[in-house]
Copies of this chain bind each other. A is one copy, B any other.
């Protein structure tokens, strides 16, 4: 494999001069520059970034830690993040924890060993995992994405969507359409996003002066369709059905939709339905929902991280938290057509 020495030998200049032209330093004569460049081209030389990284202790690589790429939330986020990384000449490691804290810990250790320049953590539970400290100790900046610990330490940053506002938008949409008896289906409250969504729901219902009956809030230990289906079956057994159902995420809504359809219930005629996430396929079942701007979240996380690395062209955000405003997406499932 070719090294800088080969280029030096071929072009008749020293490695220092070759290095200078490779790095575009303005101290070389036009003649040298030309000869060296043609030697590089002729040999097909590519600088070894490993050696370079060792010398200037900077790897130009970032990492994104996710729970499960397969969760439809992530691809958009990854896309956004990867794109800003790419534009700034960074490569990105994708780390999938499969929701296993041990694996997350090991991944973080590996990333430290690799001396990545920064990492985005898009996995965390509310309780702080102590292995984030190790990143700090090793001077590697990190930003939380979407979920975060309750308390941000001095060096910690957060990019997310305003989950409480998302709930608020969903509820207001329903109340504007005249629904009063609204059931809320929650995901696990130990996840930051679901906690906020839950709070947003309660707050808005309260603000609207609407009571929330005891059986009008259902909790799940996950946020998958299956849980949605199971809850839907429970709801079908209710004496009095709610007028509208607000699912804290679209997957739950998918499950509800499926089960209701099988049971012969019509949406929105018999019961209105709204989700939250704007899953890539939500339009297939005409699900009204709220869009948290996943791609933007990824992009912002990238920008904050690069800002922390003092990359030119990227303004370091002095804000510790960047909260994106979600957008309401109105489709048929909420009954806007019928009622407006």
Contacts and interface: CB of A to CB of B under 8 A. Distances in A.
Contact of A70 (B53, B76, B103): B76
A74 B72 contact: no
A211 interface: no
Nearest to A283: B258
A73 B285 CA distance: 20
Contacts of A94: 78, 82, 92-94
A241 interface: no
A47 B113 contact: yes
Interface string A43-84: 010111111011001010100000011101011101100110
A79 B83 contact: no
Contacts of A285: 284-285
A225 B137 CA distance: 48
Contact of A53 (B50, B96, B98, B279): B50
A117 to B, nearest CB: 12
A47 B115 CA distance: 10
B75 A91 contact: no
Interface string A256-280: 0110000000000000000000011
A96 B74 contact: no
A139 B49 CA distance: 16
A221 B283 CA distance: 23
A83 B68 CA distance: 11
A75 B109 CA distance: 24
A142 interface: no
Contacts of A110: 49, 91
Interface in A282-312: 283-285
A118 B304 CA distance: 31
Contacts of A13: none
B44 A50 contact: no
**Centre residue among A46, A138, A284 by max chain B CB count within 10 A:** A284
Contacts of A75: 69-70, 72, 74-75
Contacts of A27: none
A336 interface: no
Nearest to A68: B79
Nearest to A92: B94
B115 A48 contact: yes
A112 interface: yes
Given A138-B1, A284-B284, A113 B46 contact: yes
Contact of A281 (B61, B113, B254): B254
19 contacts: A44-B137, A46-B109, A46-B112, A48-B113, A50-B115, A61-B114, A69-B79, A72-B75, A82-B96, A83-B96, A83-B98, A91-B93, A91-B95, A91-B110, A94-B94, A280-B281, A281-B281, A284-B284, A284-B285
Give me the 4 closest cross-chain CB pairs, A-B, nearest first. A281-B281, A94-B94, A49-B113, A69-B75
Given A50-B59, A70-B79, A72-B72, 17 more contacts: A44-B134, A48-B54, A49-B115, A50-B53, A61-B114, A69-B75, A69-B78, A70-B76, A75-B75, A79-B96, A82-B96, A91-B93, A91-B95, A92-B93, A92-B94, A94-B94, A257-B284
